[in-house]
A and B are shown apart, each in its own frame.
Chain A
Amino acid sequence: MTINSLYIYDRHCTCVYYQDWHRTRRPKPAVEGGILPAVSQAVSPPKPAATTSGSISGFTSPRDTLSSGSGIVVALNDMVAQSPVTPLLQTAAPPVALSSTGLAFDEEAKLVYGVVLSLRNMIKKLSGRDEQFVNYRTSAYKLHLYETPSGYKFVMLSDPNTDSLRFVLRQIYIGPFLEYVVRNPLVSMDSREHGIDNEYFRASIDRLVRGLSVFS
Chain B
Amino acid sequence: MERQPSCLLSAKRSTRRPQDEPTVVWVRNKFGEGEKQRRARSRSGTHSLLNVNSDHLGPATSPPNRWFQPKFNILAMAIFGLWVINKAGGLVYQRNFAGPDSSLSGFVSDFNPPLIDGLAQLTSNEYLVLAGTLHGIHAITSRLSPMGSSSGAQIIEGEAFKITILLTATGTKFVLLTSLTDTSSDSILQKVYEAYSDAVMKNPFHTPEMPIRSEGFDTRITALIGTGQTA
Chain A interface (Cβ < 8 Å from any Cβ of B): 4-5, 11-13, 20, 22-25, 101, 103, 108, 111-112, 114-115, 117-119, 121-123, 125-129, 131-141, 143, 151, 157, 164
Contact = CB atoms under 8 A, between A and B. Distances in A.
A20 B150 CA distance: 18
A97 to B, nearest CB: 14
A136 B156 contact: yes
Contact of A118 (B120, B126, B137): B137
A141 B150 contact: yes
B11 A125 contact: yes
Interface residues of B, number: 46
Contact of B143 (A11, A24, A101, A123): A101
Contacts, number: 136
A125 B130 contact: yes
The 3 A-B pairs at the shortest CB distance, nearest first, are namely A128-B120, A140-B150, A128-B113
B146 A13 contact: no
Given A24-B148, A125-B126, A136 B155 contact: yes
B147 A23 contact: yes
Contacts of B214: none
Contact of B137 (A119, A132, A140): A119
A119 B144 CA distance: 15
Contacts of A131: 158-161
Contacts of B150: 138-141
Given A4-B146, A25-B146, A128-B120, A134 B151 contact: no
Contacts of A24: 146-148
B159 A132 contact: yes
Given A115-B140, A127-B161, A138 B147 contact: no
B191 to A, nearest CB: 21
